[in-house]
Structure 1
Amino acid sequence: MLDPYYPAFVPPEYTIKEIYDNIPPHCLQPNTLLSLYYILRDFFFVLILVSIATQIPSIPYPYLRGFAWASYAFVQGLVFTGLWELAHECGHGALSKSKAFNNISGLIMHSLLLVPFHSWRITHSTHHKTTNNLDKDIAFVPDIKEAYQAARESHSEAWDYIEDMPVVTLVHLFFHQIIAWPLYLTINNFALERMAKAPWWKRSHFYLGGDGPNFKPENTQDILTSDIGIGAVMFALWGLVQYFGAWNMMLFYGFPWMWTNHWILTITYLQHTDVSIPYYPNQTWTFLRGAASAVDRDFGFIGRVIFHGAIETHVMHHHVSRIPFYHAIEATAAVKKVMGIHYQSDFKTPYMWAFWKNHRICKYVEETEKNSQIYFFAKTE
Structure 2
Amino acid sequence: MSTTFTTGSADNTSNLKSRGNGSENFDNGDNVAKGLTAIDTLGQEFEVPDYSIKEILQAIPKECYERRLTTSFYYVFRDIALLATNMYLANKYIPLIQNPILNFAAWFTYVAIQGLFGTGIWVLAHECGHQAFSDYGWVNDSVGWVLHSFLLVPFFSWKYSHGKHHKATGHLTRDTVFVPPTKEKFKSSNFVEKLEDIAEETPIVSLYNLFLQQAGGWWAYLTTNVTGQPFSEYPKSQVNHFVPSSPLFEKREYWFIVLSDLGIAIQAFILYNWYKKFGAFSFFINYFFPYMWVNHWLVFITFLQHTDPTMPHYDAAVWNFARGAAATIDRELPFIGPFCFHDIIETHVLHHYVSRIPFYNARPATEAIKKVMGKHYRKSEENMFVSLWKSVRYCQFVDGTNGVRMFRNVNGLGVQPTD
SS of alignment partner, residue 294 of structure 1: coil
> Aligned partners of 1:191, 1:3: CA distance in 2, in Å?
25
Q: Does 1:208 align with 2:262?
A: no
More off after superposition, 105-114 vs 182-191: 182-191
Structure 1 residue 206: deviation in Å?
Answer: 1.1
Q: 1:354 to 1:189 in 2, by over 3 A?
A: closer
Q: State the partner residue of 1:279.
A: 313
1:111 corresponds to 2:141:
no
**Cα displacement string for residues 17-36 of structure 1 (whole angstroms, at most 9, x for unaligned residues):** 11111111010010000000
Q: 1:316 to 1:220 in 2, by over 3 A?
A: same
TM-score by length of 1: 0.92
In the alignment, is the contact (CA less than 8 A) between 1:93 and 1:322 conserved in 2?
A: yes
Say which of 129, 132, 149 aligns to 1:94: 132
C-alpha distance in 2 between matches for 1:48 and 1:25: 37
Q: 1:275 deviation in Å?
A: 1.6
**Partners of 2:111 and 2:286 within 8 A in 1:** yes
- Corresponding residue for residue 162 of structure 2: 124
Q: Contact 1:274 / 1:362 at 8 angstroms: preserved in 2?
A: yes
Superposition pairs for residues 53-72 of structure 1, below 5 Å?
53-54=90-91, 55-72=93-110
After superposition, what is the alpha-carbon deviation per residue over 1:230-286, rounded to whole angstroms, capped at 9, x for unaligned? 111000000000011123211111111001111100101100001212100122211
* Partner of residue 344, structure 1: 378
User: 1:188-245 CA distances to partner (integer Å, 9 max, x unpaired)?
Assistant: 244422x243123321211123xx3211221012111111111110000000000111
Q: 1:361 to 1:81 in 2, by over 3 A?
A: same
8 Å Cα contact 2:40/2:46 also seen in 1: yes
Task: Write the letter of the residue equivalent to 1:373.
Answer: G
Please give the root-mean-square deviation of Cα atoms over the aligned residues, in Å: 1.9
- Measure the CA separation in 2 of the matches of 1:121 and 1:176: 22
| SS, match of residue 279 in structure 1 | strand
Give the aligned residue type for 1:52. Answer: L
1:253 and 2:283 aligned: no
Contact 2:53 2:321 in 1 (8 A): no
**Contact preservation (8 Å) 2:59, 2:369:** yes
The separation in 2 between residues aligned to 1:14 and 1:174, in whole angstroms, is 39
> Would you tell me which structure has more helix in proportion to its own residues?
1
Letter in 1 for 2:406: F
2:408 to 375, 378, 381: 378
Question: 1:8 and 1:265 mapped to 2: Cα distance?
Answer: 29
Aligned to 2:234: 198
What is the CA–CA distance in structure 2 between the aligned matches of 1:325 and 1:129, rounded to whole Å? 19
Q: How does 1:224-263 map to 2 (within 5 A)?
A: 224-263=258-297
- Structure 1: segments with no counterpart, 5+ residues: none
Counterpart residue number, 2:66: 29
- What is the rounded CA distance, in whole Å, between the counterparts of 2:341 and 2:232 in structure 1? 33
Contact 1:14 1:338 in 2 (8 A): yes
Alignment match, 2:389:
356
- SS of 1:153's equivalent in the other structure is coil
Which residue does the alignment assign to 1:171?
Answer: 208
Which residue does 1:186 correspond to in 2?
223
Alignment match, 2:116: 78
Please give the TM-score of this superposition, normalised by the length of structure 2.
Answer: 0.84
Q: Aligned partners of 2:100 and 2:341: how far apart in 1?
A: 32
> Does the residue aligned with 1:21 lie in a helix, a strand or coil?
helix
Residues 189 and 200, structure 1, Cα contact 8 Å, conserved in 2: no
Q: Kindly provide the amino acid, as one letter, of the partner of residue 286 in structure 1.
A: N
d(CA) in 2 for partners of 1:307 and 1:189? 25
- Residue 60 of structure 1: how far off its partner (Å): 0.8
* SS of alignment partner, residue 305 of structure 1: helix
| Percentage of identical aligned residues | 41
Q: Distance in 2 between matches of 1:203 and 1:172?
A: 23
Map Cα deviations across residues 296-334 of structure 1 (whole Å, 9 max, x no partner): 000110011110000010111111111000000000000
Which residue of structure 1 aligns with residue 20 of structure 2?
A: none
